[in-house]
Amino acid sequence: MEISSKLPERLKELMEERDLRSETLAQGAGIAGSSIRSWPRGASVPSFESAVKLADFFGCSLDFLAGRSENFAAVAPKTLPPFYPRLRAVMAEARTTRFRVAKDTQIKDAFFTNWARGEKPLLVTLCILADYLDVTLDYLVGRTEY
């Protein structure tokens, strides 16, 4: 999944549909304007927190925002559970371990340790995890129950 090419296109599309300028989106989503301006150009990719803020602002799924789905799938904003316990629950459902995920995906085991300490994964890493676990991004982070 090549998020770096799909997310800028999707973000441009969402902004154009709503006739939003980057400054308006920045204010509405609570994200720095410089970050907003860099994403549609593909100069960088949103952090976990920024991606959730964007998806909440547009009322769409993270999968739609990241270009993993063509279905808008309206998702209402909600308080997310802490990431690492949620990931562990999803891995338990998939009957896999962090060591198996690390081995099969090339995601370093140290990342799991960092997530257990409260750090958030990059959006690209979330996509890899969701693909491996065969779940949506929104389910993986606890935005939806499916």
What is the residue-averaged pLDDT of the chain?
93
What CA–CA distance (Å, rounded) separates 20 from 87? 34
CATH architecture for the domain at 3-65: Orthogonal Bundle (1.10)
Predicted confidence band of residue 41 (pLDDT cuts 50, 70, 90): confident
Write down the pLDDT at residue 40.
86
The vertex-116 CA angle with 115 and 122, nearest 5°, equals 5
CA atoms within 13 A on the CB side of 43: 8
Q: Is CATH 1.10.1200.10 the right assignment for the domain spanning 83-141?
A: no
Q: What is the pLDDT of residues 17-40, one digit of tens each?
A: 999 999 999 999 999 999 999 998
What local confidence, expressed as pLDDT, does residue 104 receive? Answer: 97
pLDDT at 2 over 80: no
Confidence (pLDDT) at 4: 55
More confident residue, 36 or 3: 36
Q: What is the pLDDT of residue 3?
A: 61
Q: pTM (2 decimals)?
A: 0.90
Q: If 0-12 CB within 10 Å is exposed, 13-18 middle and 19+ buried, where does residue 45 land?
A: middle
pLDDT for 45: 85
Q: Count of CB atoms within 10 A of residue 47's CB?
A: 15
Residue range 45-65: average pLDDT?
A: 94
Question: For the chain, where do the domains classified as CATH 1.10.260.40 start and end?
Answer: 3-65, 83-141
pLDDT at 82: 96
pLDDT value of residue 65: 94
pLDDT of residue 110: 96
